[in-house]
Structure 1
Amino acid sequence: MIVALLNQKGGVGKTTLALHLAGQWAAKGCSVTLIDADPQGSALDWSEQRSREGLPRLFGTVGLARDTLHREAPELARNCDHVVIDGPPRVAGLMRSALLAADLVLIPVQPSPLDGWASAEMLALLTEARIYRPGLQARFILNRCGARTVIARDTADALADHDPPVLRTAIGQRVVFADAARTGRLAAEIDSACPAAREIAALTDEIDGLGIGRVTP
Protein backbone atom coordinates (compact mmCIF):
# COMPACT_ATOMS: atom_id res chain seq x y z
CA MET A 1 0.00 0.00 0.00
CA ILE A 2 1.20 3.49 -0.84
CA VAL A 3 0.13 6.09 1.73
CA ALA A 4 0.69 9.79 1.01
CA LEU A 5 0.46 12.46 3.71
CA LEU A 6 -0.61 15.64 1.98
CA ASN A 7 -1.88 19.08 2.84
CA GLN A 8 -1.38 22.39 1.09
CA LYS A 9 -0.91 23.97 4.50
CA GLY A 10 2.50 23.61 6.11
CA GLY A 11 3.11 22.92 9.79
CA VAL A 12 0.34 20.34 10.24
CA GLY A 13 2.68 17.49 11.19
CA LYS A 14 2.99 15.53 7.94
CA THR A 15 6.61 14.53 8.50
CA THR A 16 6.07 13.43 12.10
CA LEU A 17 3.13 11.25 11.10
CA ALA A 18 4.95 9.83 8.06
CA LEU A 19 8.00 8.82 10.12
CA HIS A 20 5.93 7.29 12.89
CA LEU A 21 3.64 5.37 10.54
CA ALA A 22 6.68 3.96 8.72
CA GLY A 23 8.33 3.08 12.04
CA GLN A 24 5.23 1.42 13.45
CA TRP A 25 4.73 -0.74 10.36
CA ALA A 26 8.40 -1.67 10.45
CA ALA A 27 8.05 -2.64 14.12
CA LYS A 28 5.20 -4.95 13.08
CA GLY A 29 7.55 -6.77 10.73
CA CYS A 30 6.61 -5.02 7.49
CA SER A 31 9.15 -3.87 4.93
CA VAL A 32 8.73 -0.11 4.51
CA THR A 33 10.16 2.66 2.34
CA LEU A 34 9.60 6.31 3.20
CA ILE A 35 9.74 8.79 0.33
CA ASP A 36 10.69 12.32 1.34
CA ALA A 37 8.90 14.36 -1.33
CA ASP A 38 9.21 17.64 0.57
CA PRO A 39 11.96 19.88 -0.84
CA GLN A 40 12.82 20.83 2.77
CA GLY A 41 14.01 17.25 3.31
CA SER A 42 12.98 16.95 6.97
CA ALA A 43 12.54 13.17 6.85
CA LEU A 44 15.98 12.77 5.30
CA ASP A 45 17.42 15.01 8.04
CA TRP A 46 15.79 12.77 10.67
CA SER A 47 17.27 9.68 9.03
CA GLU A 48 20.73 11.26 8.97
CA GLN A 49 20.44 12.24 12.63
CA ARG A 50 19.49 8.66 13.44
CA SER A 51 22.61 7.43 11.66
CA ARG A 52 24.80 9.93 13.55
CA GLU A 53 23.33 8.62 16.81
CA GLY A 54 24.35 5.08 15.83
CA LEU A 55 20.75 3.84 15.84
CA PRO A 56 19.70 0.92 13.63
CA ARG A 57 17.85 1.63 10.40
CA LEU A 58 14.17 0.78 10.72
CA PHE A 59 13.09 1.49 7.15
CA GLY A 60 14.53 2.87 3.93
CA THR A 61 14.33 6.61 3.31
CA VAL A 62 14.75 8.11 -0.15
CA GLY A 63 14.46 11.67 -1.43
CA LEU A 64 12.16 12.05 -4.42
CA ALA A 65 10.99 15.65 -4.45
CA ARG A 66 10.01 15.58 -8.10
CA ASP A 67 6.84 15.23 -10.13
CA THR A 68 7.62 11.70 -11.33
CA LEU A 69 6.44 10.14 -8.05
CA HIS A 70 3.46 8.51 -9.72
CA ARG A 71 5.87 6.43 -11.81
CA GLU A 72 8.62 5.83 -9.23
CA ALA A 73 6.61 5.08 -6.07
CA PRO A 74 4.76 2.06 -7.55
CA GLU A 75 8.12 0.61 -8.60
CA LEU A 76 9.38 0.93 -5.03
CA ALA A 77 6.14 -0.62 -3.77
CA ARG A 78 6.86 -3.82 -5.70
CA ASN A 79 9.65 -4.61 -3.26
CA CYS A 80 8.08 -3.70 0.09
CA ASP A 81 4.83 -3.91 2.03
CA HIS A 82 4.28 -0.17 2.49
CA VAL A 83 5.49 3.03 0.88
CA VAL A 84 4.88 6.20 2.91
CA ILE A 85 5.14 9.54 1.10
CA ASP A 86 5.91 12.65 3.13
CA GLY A 87 4.36 15.17 0.77
CA PRO A 88 5.21 18.78 -0.03
CA PRO A 89 3.25 21.89 0.92
CA ARG A 90 2.12 24.22 -1.85
CA VAL A 91 3.88 22.51 -4.76
CA ALA A 92 1.08 21.69 -7.17
CA GLY A 93 3.07 19.48 -9.57
CA LEU A 94 4.54 17.38 -6.78
CA MET A 95 1.16 17.20 -5.05
CA ARG A 96 -0.56 15.91 -8.20
CA SER A 97 2.15 13.30 -8.71
CA ALA A 98 1.87 12.11 -5.09
CA LEU A 99 -1.93 11.87 -5.41
CA LEU A 100 -1.61 9.75 -8.56
CA ALA A 101 0.92 7.49 -6.82
CA ALA A 102 -1.13 6.85 -3.68
CA ASP A 103 -3.64 4.20 -2.69
CA LEU A 104 -4.57 6.19 0.43
CA VAL A 105 -4.20 9.92 1.02
CA LEU A 106 -4.05 11.10 4.62
CA ILE A 107 -4.75 14.81 5.11
CA PRO A 108 -3.46 15.90 8.53
CA VAL A 109 -5.38 18.80 10.02
CA GLN A 110 -5.25 20.56 13.35
CA PRO A 111 -8.48 21.13 15.26
CA SER A 112 -9.84 24.43 14.05
CA PRO A 113 -12.93 25.73 12.29
CA LEU A 114 -13.64 23.73 9.14
CA ASP A 115 -13.05 26.61 6.71
CA GLY A 116 -9.64 27.23 8.23
CA TRP A 117 -8.06 23.98 7.12
CA ALA A 118 -10.26 22.10 4.67
CA SER A 119 -8.31 23.57 1.75
CA ALA A 120 -10.50 23.98 -1.31
CA GLU A 121 -7.39 23.62 -3.48
CA MET A 122 -6.37 20.36 -1.78
CA LEU A 123 -9.82 18.86 -2.22
CA ALA A 124 -9.94 20.06 -5.82
CA LEU A 125 -6.65 18.26 -6.52
CA LEU A 126 -8.05 15.13 -4.89
CA THR A 127 -11.17 15.30 -7.08
CA GLU A 128 -8.97 15.75 -10.15
CA ALA A 129 -6.81 12.74 -9.20
CA ARG A 130 -9.90 10.56 -8.84
CA ILE A 131 -10.65 11.06 -12.54
CA TYR A 132 -7.57 8.96 -13.23
CA ARG A 133 -7.63 6.92 -10.01
CA PRO A 134 -11.32 6.40 -9.21
CA GLY A 135 -10.48 3.98 -6.40
CA LEU A 136 -8.23 6.48 -4.60
CA GLN A 137 -9.12 6.60 -0.90
CA ALA A 138 -8.63 9.62 1.36
CA ARG A 139 -9.08 10.42 5.04
CA PHE A 140 -8.65 13.44 7.25
CA ILE A 141 -6.63 12.81 10.41
CA LEU A 142 -6.83 15.10 13.41
CA ASN A 143 -3.29 15.89 14.55
CA ARG A 144 -1.79 17.92 17.37
CA CYS A 145 -5.01 17.78 19.35
CA GLY A 146 -5.14 19.22 22.84
CA ALA A 147 -6.43 16.73 25.37
CA ARG A 148 -10.24 16.60 25.48
CA THR A 149 -10.64 20.01 23.87
CA VAL A 150 -14.10 21.06 22.74
CA ILE A 151 -12.75 22.24 19.38
CA ALA A 152 -11.27 18.79 18.65
CA ARG A 153 -14.63 17.15 19.36
CA ASP A 154 -16.45 19.76 17.31
CA THR A 155 -14.04 19.28 14.40
CA ALA A 156 -14.48 15.50 14.48
CA ASP A 157 -18.26 15.90 14.60
CA ALA A 158 -18.17 18.32 11.66
CA LEU A 159 -16.27 15.76 9.60
CA ALA A 160 -18.36 12.75 10.57
CA ASP A 161 -20.30 12.76 7.30
CA HIS A 162 -17.70 14.62 5.25
CA ASP A 163 -15.97 13.39 2.11
CA PRO A 164 -13.21 12.53 2.79
CA PRO A 165 -14.23 11.25 6.23
CA VAL A 166 -12.10 11.60 9.34
CA LEU A 167 -10.27 8.71 10.98
CA ARG A 168 -11.41 7.77 14.47
CA THR A 169 -7.88 7.93 15.84
CA ALA A 170 -6.65 11.41 16.72
CA ILE A 171 -3.04 12.24 17.53
CA GLY A 172 -2.33 14.48 20.50
CA GLN A 173 -0.01 17.44 20.91
CA ARG A 174 2.89 15.58 22.56
CA VAL A 175 6.31 16.86 23.62
CA VAL A 176 7.77 13.44 22.84
CA PHE A 177 7.22 14.02 19.12
CA ALA A 178 9.52 17.06 19.24
CA ASP A 179 12.11 15.02 21.15
CA ALA A 180 11.84 12.28 18.53
CA ALA A 181 12.39 14.73 15.66
CA ARG A 182 15.44 16.20 17.37
CA THR A 183 17.13 12.89 18.25
CA GLY A 184 16.38 10.73 15.22
CA ARG A 185 14.14 8.47 17.27
CA LEU A 186 10.48 7.51 17.35
CA ALA A 187 8.14 8.14 20.26
CA ALA A 188 7.91 4.42 21.02
CA GLU A 189 11.71 4.21 21.27
CA ILE A 190 11.77 7.01 23.81
CA ASP A 191 8.89 5.59 25.87
CA SER A 192 7.02 2.57 24.55
CA ALA A 193 4.15 3.13 27.01
CA CYS A 194 3.61 6.83 26.34
CA PRO A 195 0.28 8.12 24.94
CA ALA A 196 1.96 9.11 21.67
CA ALA A 197 3.17 5.55 21.07
CA ARG A 198 -0.29 4.17 21.82
CA GLU A 199 -1.94 6.66 19.46
CA ILE A 200 0.43 5.81 16.60
CA ALA A 201 -0.19 2.08 17.16
CA ALA A 202 -3.95 2.70 17.08
CA LEU A 203 -3.59 4.79 13.91
CA THR A 204 -1.72 2.07 12.01
CA ASP A 205 -4.22 -0.53 13.18
CA GLU A 206 -7.10 1.64 11.93
CA ILE A 207 -5.42 2.17 8.55
CA ASP A 208 -4.72 -1.57 8.25
CA GLY A 209 -8.37 -2.20 9.06
CA LEU A 210 -9.48 -0.15 6.05
CA GLY A 211 -8.40 -3.05 3.86
CA ILE A 212 -6.95 -0.83 1.15
CA GLY A 213 -4.74 -2.55 -1.40
CA ARG A 214 -2.97 -1.35 -4.48
CA VAL A 215 -5.34 0.71 -6.64
CA THR A 216 -5.33 -0.10 -10.34
CA PRO A 217 -5.42 3.07 -12.48
Structure 2
Amino acid sequence: MIVALLNQKGGVGKTTLALHLAGQWARQGRRVTLIDADPQGSALDWSEQRSREGLPRLFGVVGLARDTLHREAPELARHADHVVIDGPPRVAALMRSALLAADLVLIPAQPSPFDGWGSGEMLKLIVEARIFRPELRARFVLNRCDARTIIARETAETLVDHDPPAFTATIGQRVAFADAARTGRLVFDVDPMSAAAREIAALAAEVERLMR
Protein backbone atom coordinates (compact mmCIF):
# COMPACT_ATOMS: atom_id res chain seq x y z
CA MET A 1 0.00 0.00 0.00
CA ILE A 2 1.33 3.43 -0.97
CA VAL A 3 -0.18 6.33 0.99
CA ALA A 4 0.62 9.90 -0.04
CA LEU A 5 -0.03 12.90 2.20
CA LEU A 6 -0.64 15.82 -0.10
CA ASN A 7 -1.99 19.35 0.04
CA GLN A 8 -0.80 22.33 -1.91
CA LYS A 9 -1.41 24.48 1.16
CA GLY A 10 1.61 24.51 3.47
CA GLY A 11 1.50 24.24 7.24
CA VAL A 12 -1.29 21.67 7.44
CA GLY A 13 0.84 19.00 9.14
CA LYS A 14 1.71 16.63 6.28
CA THR A 15 5.12 15.70 7.65
CA THR A 16 3.87 15.16 11.21
CA LEU A 17 1.11 12.84 10.02
CA ALA A 18 3.38 11.01 7.57
CA LEU A 19 5.99 10.30 10.25
CA HIS A 20 3.42 9.19 12.80
CA LEU A 21 1.51 6.90 10.42
CA ALA A 22 4.80 5.30 9.37
CA GLY A 23 5.82 4.95 13.01
CA GLN A 24 2.49 3.46 14.06
CA TRP A 25 2.61 0.79 11.37
CA ALA A 26 6.27 0.04 12.13
CA ARG A 27 5.39 -0.45 15.81
CA GLN A 28 2.84 -3.04 14.69
CA GLY A 29 5.54 -5.01 12.91
CA ARG A 30 4.95 -3.75 9.38
CA ARG A 31 7.87 -3.09 7.03
CA VAL A 32 7.59 0.64 6.30
CA THR A 33 9.46 3.08 4.08
CA LEU A 34 8.80 6.81 4.20
CA ILE A 35 9.56 8.83 1.06
CA ASP A 36 10.43 12.46 1.74
CA ALA A 37 9.22 14.10 -1.47
CA ASP A 38 9.32 17.62 -0.01
CA PRO A 39 12.35 19.62 -1.19
CA GLN A 40 12.56 21.07 2.34
CA GLY A 41 13.50 17.59 3.58
CA SER A 42 11.83 17.84 7.00
CA ALA A 43 11.31 14.08 7.35
CA LEU A 44 14.97 13.47 6.52
CA ASP A 45 15.95 16.08 9.13
CA TRP A 46 13.77 14.28 11.70
CA SER A 47 15.41 10.94 10.85
CA GLU A 48 18.89 12.43 11.26
CA GLN A 49 17.93 13.96 14.60
CA ARG A 50 16.59 10.59 15.77
CA SER A 51 19.92 9.00 14.87
CA ARG A 52 21.86 11.70 16.76
CA GLU A 53 19.69 11.03 19.83
CA GLY A 54 20.71 7.36 19.68
CA LEU A 55 17.13 6.19 19.19
CA PRO A 56 16.37 2.96 17.29
CA ARG A 57 15.33 3.29 13.67
CA LEU A 58 11.66 2.47 13.24
CA PHE A 59 11.48 2.73 9.45
CA GLY A 60 13.59 3.82 6.51
CA VAL A 61 13.41 7.41 5.21
CA VAL A 62 14.36 8.02 1.58
CA GLY A 63 14.66 11.42 -0.10
CA LEU A 64 12.93 11.41 -3.51
CA ALA A 65 11.91 14.98 -4.27
CA ARG A 66 11.68 14.46 -8.02
CA ASP A 67 8.99 13.90 -10.61
CA THR A 68 9.99 10.27 -11.29
CA LEU A 69 8.36 9.29 -8.00
CA HIS A 70 5.58 7.35 -9.73
CA ARG A 71 8.20 5.03 -11.22
CA GLU A 72 10.41 4.69 -8.12
CA ALA A 73 7.81 4.34 -5.34
CA PRO A 74 6.31 1.06 -6.65
CA GLU A 75 9.80 -0.45 -6.67
CA LEU A 76 10.24 0.51 -3.00
CA ALA A 77 6.78 -0.90 -2.27
CA ARG A 78 7.94 -4.35 -3.42
CA HIS A 79 10.13 -4.52 -0.32
CA ALA A 80 7.70 -2.95 2.18
CA ASP A 81 4.21 -3.50 3.54
CA HIS A 82 3.49 0.24 3.54
CA VAL A 83 5.12 3.16 1.73
CA VAL A 84 4.24 6.62 3.07
CA ILE A 85 4.93 9.68 0.89
CA ASP A 86 5.43 13.04 2.60
CA GLY A 87 4.42 15.23 -0.32
CA PRO A 88 5.59 18.64 -1.51
CA PRO A 89 3.69 21.92 -1.27
CA ARG A 90 2.98 23.75 -4.53
CA VAL A 91 5.28 21.77 -6.83
CA ALA A 92 2.91 20.65 -9.58
CA ALA A 93 5.17 18.10 -11.31
CA LEU A 94 6.12 16.45 -8.01
CA MET A 95 2.50 16.47 -6.86
CA ARG A 96 1.31 14.77 -10.04
CA SER A 97 4.04 12.15 -9.76
CA ALA A 98 3.05 11.42 -6.14
CA LEU A 99 -0.61 11.09 -7.16
CA LEU A 100 0.27 8.59 -9.88
CA ALA A 101 2.33 6.58 -7.37
CA ALA A 102 -0.30 6.41 -4.63
CA ASP A 103 -3.04 3.92 -3.82
CA LEU A 104 -4.53 6.37 -1.31
CA VAL A 105 -4.17 10.15 -0.98
CA LEU A 106 -4.67 11.72 2.43
CA ILE A 107 -5.37 15.46 2.36
CA PRO A 108 -4.58 16.99 5.76
CA ALA A 109 -6.74 20.04 6.44
CA GLN A 110 -7.42 22.18 9.45
CA PRO A 111 -11.03 22.95 10.40
CA SER A 112 -11.15 26.30 8.63
CA PRO A 113 -12.96 27.53 5.52
CA PHE A 114 -9.60 28.82 4.24
CA ASP A 115 -8.16 25.31 4.26
CA GLY A 116 -11.22 24.05 2.42
CA TRP A 117 -10.92 26.67 -0.28
CA GLY A 118 -7.19 26.07 -0.51
CA SER A 119 -7.78 22.37 -1.23
CA GLY A 120 -9.65 23.10 -4.48
CA GLU A 121 -6.58 22.84 -6.69
CA MET A 122 -5.58 19.63 -4.94
CA LEU A 123 -8.97 18.09 -5.75
CA LYS A 124 -8.57 19.06 -9.42
CA LEU A 125 -5.24 17.23 -9.51
CA ILE A 126 -6.89 14.13 -8.02
CA VAL A 127 -9.58 14.19 -10.73
CA GLU A 128 -6.83 14.51 -13.33
CA ALA A 129 -4.84 11.61 -11.81
CA ARG A 130 -7.92 9.37 -11.84
CA ILE A 131 -7.92 9.51 -15.65
CA PHE A 132 -4.79 7.35 -15.44
CA ARG A 133 -5.46 5.75 -12.02
CA PRO A 134 -9.26 5.31 -11.73
CA GLU A 135 -8.78 3.17 -8.60
CA LEU A 136 -7.04 6.04 -6.73
CA ARG A 137 -8.73 6.69 -3.38
CA ALA A 138 -8.66 9.94 -1.45
CA ARG A 139 -9.74 11.12 2.00
CA PHE A 140 -9.51 14.31 4.00
CA VAL A 141 -7.90 14.12 7.45
CA LEU A 142 -8.91 16.82 9.91
CA ASN A 143 -5.67 17.82 11.64
CA ARG A 144 -4.89 20.26 14.46
CA CYS A 145 -8.54 19.99 15.27
CA ASP A 146 -10.32 20.90 18.49
CA ALA A 147 -13.47 18.81 18.20
CA ARG A 148 -15.19 20.97 20.82
CA THR A 149 -15.28 24.05 18.58
CA ILE A 150 -18.24 24.88 16.37
CA ILE A 151 -16.11 25.27 13.23
CA ALA A 152 -14.54 21.84 13.74
CA ARG A 153 -17.95 20.21 14.07
CA GLU A 154 -19.29 22.08 11.06
CA THR A 155 -16.24 21.16 8.96
CA ALA A 156 -16.56 17.48 9.89
CA GLU A 157 -20.30 17.48 9.09
CA THR A 158 -19.69 19.17 5.72
CA LEU A 159 -17.04 16.64 4.70
CA VAL A 160 -19.22 13.60 5.49
CA ASP A 161 -21.02 14.01 2.15
CA HIS A 162 -18.04 15.52 0.33
CA ASP A 163 -16.08 13.80 -2.43
CA PRO A 164 -13.60 12.87 -1.14
CA PRO A 165 -15.04 12.49 2.37
CA ALA A 166 -13.14 12.86 5.62
CA PHE A 167 -11.99 10.05 7.87
CA THR A 168 -13.86 9.72 11.14
CA ALA A 169 -10.58 9.82 13.08
CA THR A 170 -9.32 13.36 13.71
CA ILE A 171 -6.01 14.61 15.09
CA GLY A 172 -6.07 17.24 17.81
CA GLN A 173 -4.11 20.45 18.20
CA ARG A 174 -1.47 19.11 20.59
CA VAL A 175 1.95 20.46 21.56
CA ALA A 176 3.04 16.84 22.11
CA PHE A 177 3.68 16.47 18.37
CA ALA A 178 6.09 19.41 18.17
CA ASP A 179 7.79 18.53 21.47
CA ALA A 180 8.45 14.97 20.31
CA ALA A 181 9.68 15.97 16.83
CA ARG A 182 12.39 18.27 18.19
CA THR A 183 14.29 15.27 19.55
CA GLY A 184 13.58 12.86 16.69
CA ARG A 185 10.79 11.18 18.60
CA LEU A 186 7.16 10.37 17.94
CA VAL A 187 4.37 10.87 20.45
CA PHE A 188 4.25 7.16 21.34
CA ASP A 189 7.98 7.24 22.14
CA VAL A 190 7.15 9.78 24.84
CA ASP A 191 3.82 8.38 26.08
CA PRO A 192 2.19 5.48 24.22
CA MET A 193 -1.04 6.01 26.18
CA SER A 194 -1.35 9.74 25.42
CA ALA A 195 -4.35 11.22 23.61
CA ALA A 196 -2.08 12.08 20.65
CA ALA A 197 -0.83 8.48 20.38
CA ARG A 198 -4.40 7.14 20.55
CA GLU A 199 -5.54 9.50 17.79
CA ILE A 200 -2.72 8.39 15.48
CA ALA A 201 -3.52 4.73 16.18
CA ALA A 202 -7.18 5.34 15.31
CA LEU A 203 -6.26 7.06 12.04
CA ALA A 204 -3.81 4.30 11.05
CA ALA A 205 -6.44 1.65 11.75
CA GLU A 206 -9.05 3.51 9.68
CA VAL A 207 -6.64 3.76 6.75
CA GLU A 208 -5.98 0.03 6.85
CA ARG A 209 -9.68 -0.82 7.06
CA LEU A 210 -10.33 1.28 3.95
CA MET A 211 -7.54 -0.35 1.96
CA ARG A 212 -8.33 -3.99 2.76
Q: TM-score, normalised by structure 1?
A: 0.95
Cα deviation code 1:73-100 (max 9, x no counterpart): 0000000100000000000000000000
After TM superposition, give the deviation of residue 118 of structure 1 in Å.
4.8
1:194–1:91 distance in 2 versus 1, CA, 3 Å: same
Report the Cα distance in structure 1 between the residues aligned to 2:13 and 2:177, rounded to whole angstroms. Answer: 10
Task: Please list every run of 5 or more consecutive structure 2 residues that lacks an aligned counterpart in the other structure.
Answer: none
- Correspondence 1:34 to 2:38: no
Equivalent position of 1:200 in the other structure: 200
Report the Cα distance in structure 2 between the residues aligned to 1:4 and 1:210, rounded to whole angstroms. Answer: 14
- Correspondence 1:7 to 2:7: yes
Equivalent position of 1:58 in the other structure: 58
Equivalent position of 2:46 in the other structure: 46
- Correspondence 1:73 to 2:66: no
- Correspondence 1:175 to 2:164: no
Letter in 1 for 2:130: R
Q: Provide the aligned length of Structure 1 versus Structure 2.
A: 212
Task: Please list every run of 5 or more consecutive structure 1 residues that lacks an aligned counterpart in the other structure.
Answer: 213-217
Report the Cα distance in structure 2 between the residues aligned to 1:130 and 1:176, rounded to whole angstroms. Answer: 36
Q: CA RMSD in A?
A: 1.1
Report the Cα distance in structure 2 between the residues aligned to 1:116 and 1:178, rounded to whole angstroms. Answer: 24
After TM superposition, give the deviation of residue 128 of structure 1 in Å.
0.3
After TM superposition, give the deviation of residue 211 of structure 1 in Å.
2.6
- Correspondence 1:209 to 2:212: no
Report the Cα distance in structure 2 between the residues aligned to 1:195 and 1:99, rounded to whole angstroms. Answer: 31
Letter in 2 for 1:78: R
CA contact under 8 A between 1:109 and 1:117: conserved in structure 2?
no
Letter in 1 for 2:57: R
Task: Please state whether the residue corresponding to 1:205 is helix, strand or coil.
Answer: helix
- Correspondence 1:84 to 2:84: yes
Report the Cα distance in structure 1 between the residues aligned to 2:115 and 2:79, rounded to whole angstroms. Answer: 40
Report the Cα distance in structure 1 between the residues aligned to 2:100 and 2:75, rounded to whole angstroms. Answer: 13
Report the Cα distance in structure 2 between the residues aligned to 1:115 and 1:178, rounded to whole angstroms. Answer: 21
1:139–1:118 distance in 2 versus 1, CA, 3 Å: farther
1:165–1:147 distance in 2 versus 1, CA, 3 Å: closer
* 1:104-119 equivalent positions in 2, closer than 5 A: 104-113=104-113, 116-119=116-119
Q: TM-score, normalised by structure 2?
A: 0.98
1:29–1:115 distance in 2 versus 1, CA, 3 Å: closer
Letter in 2 for 1:184: G
After TM superposition, give the deviation of residue 17 of structure 1 in Å.
0.1
After TM superposition, give the deviation of residue 117 of structure 1 in Å.
3.9
Report the Cα distance in structure 2 between the residues aligned to 1:146 and 1:5, rounded to whole angstroms. Answer: 21
